Amino acid sequence: MSSLGPIYQWLILPLLIFLARVADVSLGTVRVIFVSRGLKYFAAIMGFFEVLIWILVIGQIMKNLSNPLCYIAYAGGFAMGNFVGISVGEKLSLGMAILRVITSKDAASLLDAFKSQGYGVTSFDGQGSTGGQIKLVFSIMHRSHLEDAVKIITKFDPSAFYTIEDINFVEKGVFAAKSKSYLKVFDGLFRPFRKGK
């Protein structure tokens, strides 16, 4: 049994601290994404577990101040947690975004491609910095559709200039059916608390 002491102190404990820190920071990163999207109930739940894990980890660090591997595990878990949290946030594809496209080509086929996917589009003519005629195309869509929309743009005009910007609030408009959300299983949980629903 005495041999378990060093194994726990120098291997198992640092590993547990690393994994807990990955979970803690990942939750924190996703929580910030939820806050920016106005999902306050999800953010509150994430915040609870984030702080709970952090307190448990700090408690173990304070009990093992002489173990440098605990510090390394803590810092490594923080770094990995940021990576994991951002990756999870990208997979969730929460919220809406505005896609702006500027092209020197006739945008008729691009507009048709967007409309065939159910994307609402607005287009108008403009003048570029060099004086040439350009076409500007705007579309507001669910973030989960951005990858497909960008593929359509690059297929239409590989040299097209486009920007993507987050939107906090949208009312009315034409939108394609929302892609499957990883949060769908929790959708009914907070429905009674939503305004106007």
Per-residue model confidence (pLDDT) at position 3: 47
Per-residue model confidence (pLDDT) at position 38: 82
Of the candidate CATH numbers 3.40.640.10, 3.30.1360.200, 3.30.70.120, 3.60.21.10, the domain formed by 96-167 belongs to 3.30.70.120
Per-residue model confidence (pLDDT) at position 68: 93
Cβ count within 10 A of residue 27: 24
Residue 110's nearest CA partner among 146, 64, 151, 56 is 151
Per-residue model confidence (pLDDT) at position 144: 87
- Residue 50 tokens read as 């984030």
Low-confidence ranges of the chain (pLDDT < 50): 1-3, 185, 187, 190-191, 193-197
Give the domain ranges of the chain: 4-92, 96-167
